[in-house]
């Protein structure tokens, strides 16, 4: 039963976030759609249901949102500066970035976080390594690429998903 409740809460939260409306008709439609989706997908959504929904994980997700947004702003400014100033170095390449994350969901979150940050693009994930296309490669050493590209994200993602 907790899987259905958890699925419903997640679907309904997305509905409210995307509609940005608290009108009774919108909330009713969202609740109905979330119920239908939870009914059909809850068995695949989560094996432990509400066990994922701890205060600690919510707190880390909240913190991660701000960390991610800050990193995105910094990366946008860096890429914009490179576009506006052709003398700034561009040394594109693919680097190997190790990860300590074990779950596939956590690796997916990390890969997407890196991809959504301008200047980097996750090309592949193989076991415990991510292959990242980087606009300005400044390191080849996997430990250094980890520190420069994914360490700030991984710290929070590990707490949220594992």
Provide the pLDDT for residue 5: 83
- pLDDT-derived band at 101 (thresholds 50, 70, 90) equals very high
Is the pTM value of this prediction over 0.85? no
Two tokens at 102?
């074990």
Mean pLDDT, the chain, rounded, equals 88
Residue 156 has pLDDT above 70, yes or no: yes
Provide the pLDDT for residue 162: 78
Q: Residue 29 CB: number of other CB atoms within 10 A?
A: 14
């Amino acid at each position: 039963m907790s899987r259905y409740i958890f699925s419903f809460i997640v679907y309904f939260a997305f509905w409210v976030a995307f509609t940005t409306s608290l009108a009774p008709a919108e909330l009713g439609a969202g609740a109905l759609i979330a119920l239908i989706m939870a009914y059909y997908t809850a068995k695949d959504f989560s094996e432990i249901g509400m066990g994922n929904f701890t205060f600690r994980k919510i707190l880390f997700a909240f913190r991660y949102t701000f960390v991610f947004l800050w990193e995105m702003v910094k990366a946008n400014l860096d890429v914009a500066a490179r576009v506006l100033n052709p003398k700034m170095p561009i040394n594109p390449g693919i680097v190997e970035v190790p990860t300590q994350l074990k779950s596939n969901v956590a690796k997916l979150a990390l890969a997407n976080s890196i991809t959504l940050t301008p200047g980097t693009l996750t090309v592949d994930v193989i076991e415990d390594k991510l292959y990242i296309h980087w606009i300005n490669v400044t390191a080849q050493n996997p430990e250094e690429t980890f520190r420069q590209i994914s360490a700030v994200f991984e710290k929070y993602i590990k707490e949220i998903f594992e």
